[in-house]
Chains A and B, each alone.
Chain A
């Protein structure tokens, strides 16, 4: 299981340190719809969870992703 930062950084082509709670499609150009989809499957595989459609729809930033993962029982550090 890779840390969340690493998964996201890899997809968004950023350094892990550049990923903050506020990182969002509005702040990062590489967070387009293509990478958004990639993110869903990579996160599901990495953390062994299945998101619902509503959860996927609700994501607007990295903070939302953390909240959803916590809800699925994944422990995520701040």
Chain B
């Protein structure tokens, strides 16, 4: 089975340091945020900038904020603090004056964030600004050449556009948050006047949930797999009793909540979420629904694993985790039955359990609130994950049907394409060096900038590989980096995603490397194996590729003499093609 590419070895040696930088009284929020982090098993230190000092904290290089050395800074400036008196008297100034004021404010924000980005290595989450829901000029507000409301909307738009391609800065749509909970109720008026609290404590939970969508991925706690019950969850009724025709699913009042719920789940799948079934049912009753029900949105092909049986659901989840080779803490369980949820909560506390409301009409709203699957960066390989795991299930079925390994490999019709390092492949190349643990010779972690520097130096070759077989596309799954010298190539990095281990791809990659070195008239290739706790699968790789150890007692240095030695897996060259 595929290996978990986001292994939890990067897990928290030290608490994640979160700084809250706010223009009003917000310190009480710390408690709520701590509770949410604790529930996600993420250890955190939280710092709040002192009341009224957010600006000096950001501007002063010696401030406590910078001394705290945050990993995440949440910048929460409210519209009124941003604009001062103009907030109360927007039409005391001319349109032109308002326009230039807004431009000034926008530059001021960018300036603050630039300082913040320079002085820390933190990820930055910036709240956008609440757009007022009233205007002193009433209905004529939208007839103004540059209205007050329009000016805040434009500010939000500009802020969003400015950070679109910045992978450290994220904009939190606070205006949308304020609308969703209700702008008129956003602050408790007496607490605002008494203590400058601009957000009512009753919305803290909701906001903390949004923050968790950033905190989870920063702490490597993003969930990956949605485990779904069937009866009363994906459709109404019980298929075992009501039959295929009797369940509620389709364009009827009873069926639409389930139909639309499935549609939203399909979106998650397309964003890379792995889907699995955990249902108390007979498989003979379920398969016809998955295959033939005219309104089923989620089909057999979307599920990476299924447990349809009469075992308890916690045991099933444990088995699913094993089969998919992912951690229990990367799973979120959805079941309408409160006793199943309670059982899983108790037996497997790591598993997330969605508190599904009783009314199916509310299902989709519950799921759209979930931020557990958030990522801060998305490669096309991430998006394909759900499909990859589902295809893997079909491969495993094919493997059971094949007689021997070689004929199985033949039947896969694996194709490996060779790609250079360019603007399109570089993000994935960096990601692979960051995340690959098992089949990785040296476990050197590189950023995109590191890779760029290597290429610029002119001494390195960076080559990556894309694989697909008849069941599906794996994306870019492997790479090597060699340092070129006069007569020798030294392998700096040789790695491959574990999803494709045992399918001949690694030998095709080495065939490409040896062939390239031969064409460049090299005499030797040097390999290095740096042992870690996780890269045991790599241990014998150089030996099986015909490399000889430099020292028979040491398996870290390997040598391949091009003129004298034969590569034992030359046949795997046939898998290769240039794209």
Contacts and interface: CB of A to CB of B under 8 A. Distances in A.
Interface stretch (A13-21, A52-60, A66-74): A52-60
Interface stretch (A1-9, A23-31, A38-46): A38-46
A56 B190 contact: yes
A37 B28 contact: yes
Contact of B193 (A34, A40, A53): A53
Interface string B18-36: 0000000101100000000
Nearest to B200: A41
A3 to B, nearest CB: 21
B201 A41 contact: yes
Contacts of B189: 53
A67 B342 CA distance: 41
Interface residues of B, number: 13
Contacts of A51: 190
A57 to B, nearest CB: 7
B27 A34 contact: yes
B202 interface: yes
B195 interface: yes
Contacts of B403: none
A29 to B, nearest CB: 18
Contacts of B197: 37
A37 B191 contact: yes
A67 to B, nearest CB: 18
Interface string B189-219: 1110111010001100000000000000000
A70 to B, nearest CB: 20
B195 A52 contact: no
Contacts of A41: 28, 188, 191, 201-202
A45 B28 CA distance: 15
B505 to A, nearest CB: 58
A53 B28 contact: no
Interface residues of A, number: 12
A55 B195 CA distance: 14
Interface in B493-533: none
Contacts of A33: 195
Contacts of A57: 194
Contacts of B27: 34
A40 B189 CA distance: 13
B193 A37 contact: no
Nearest to A54: B190
A53 B202 contact: no
B190 A38 contact: no
A53 B28 CA distance: 19
A33 B27 CA distance: 12
A45 B25 CA distance: 19
B32 to A, nearest CB: 11
A8 B25 CA distance: 21
Contact of B194 (A34, A38, A56): A56
A37 B25 contact: yes
Contacts of B195: 33, 37
Contacts of B188: 41
B202 A45 contact: yes
Nearest to B190: A53
Contacts of A37: 25, 28, 191, 194-195, 197
Nearest to B195: A37
A52 B190 CA distance: 7
Contacts of A40: 191
Nearest to B25: A37
A33 B28 CA distance: 12
Nearest to A37: B195
Contacts of A53: 189-190, 193-194
B51 to A, nearest CB: 10
Nearest to B204: A41
Contacts of A52: 190
A40 B202 CA distance: 12
A53 B195 CA distance: 11
A75 B201 CA distance: 25
B280 to A, nearest CB: 38
Interface of B: 25, 27-28, 188-191, 193-195, 197, 201-202
11 contacts: A33-B195, A37-B28, A37-B191, A40-B191, A41-B28, A41-B188, A41-B191, A53-B189, A53-B190, A53-B194, A56-B190
Interface of A: 33-34, 37-38, 40-41, 45, 51-53, 56-57
Given A38-B28, A52-B190, A53-B194, 13 more contacts: A34-B28, A37-B25, A37-B28, A37-B191, A37-B194, A41-B28, A41-B201, A45-B202, A51-B190, A53-B189, A53-B190, A53-B193, A56-B194
For the complex of A and B, the 5 pairs showing the least CB-CB separation, nearest first, are A53-B190, A41-B201, A37-B195, A56-B194, A38-B28
